[in-house]
Homo-oligomer: A and B are copies of this chain.
């Protein structure tokens, strides 16, 4: 990667650590890195893209560090696992990755959200597979649940421990404590047979990005809600809202959206709309047209 671009990422990372993502303006990044706005948008199409680039490099680094710890070692050895987790959390802490991750997850950007979800699932899957190494194939049906709970236990212990900053407990202690709890849990649920989520779910989570679909949903939702808003004080409000809700429903929740119905609904709205809504309706029409075009291409 371009060293200049990497330099911008590093500066941004530093600023995100100090002030948080949302509190850091693009102008801040420009001032500190000494590049111009044009160059920034030549490198990244948006602030969120920069964040994705940052996360990508950090996650790669962490994954590599974790994998290196396993090389030439016995995967069954739980001490290695502890070292791996400890490494991850120490790196996270140094980079304030967890806060950043939390802060950013609920931003109103489908692409970013999908990316973060994928990272998330990836790390759960990693845990799950390491648990198979450690606890054996026979415990498999319970290990997704245990991976999820281990994550919760560790994360919360870590969070409250750093809140109690006077505490002299080290990350190593926290990891060991959390692992100890998990070992007992695995034994217990394997004994009683209790299960919440079957591990097969992981497969259905992984490839299922549907990125374009989600982005479409967001745009669609935005368009419909703008239209609804512009109708608030209209006398035939109820009728129009019904039509808009129908379009939404038909596009998102029916197995196969009926194109002619939706087109008819939009036409009907257009014929009675004021000039203000007309522009928005045209956008909606375009959006729907693109959606169907894309569907046909996929066949």
Contacts and interface: CB of A to CB of B under 8 A. Distances in A.
Given A156-B152, A184-B185, A161 B102 contact: no
A18 B19 CA distance: 29
Contacts of A32: 229, 232
A196 B156 contact: no
Contacts of A108: 19-20, 22-23
The size bracket of the interface on A is 35 or more
A105 interface: yes
B173 A196 contact: yes
A134 to B, nearest CB: 18
Nearest to A194: B177
Interface string A15-36: 0001110110000100110000
Main secondary structure of the interface of A (DSSP, over half): helix
A175 to B, nearest CB: 11
A126 interface: no
A69 interface: no
B153 A197 contact: no
A7 to B, nearest CB: 15
Interface stretch (A57-65, A83-91, A143-151, A250-258): A143-151
Interface string A151-179: 11111110011011001010001100100
A99 B167 CA distance: 29
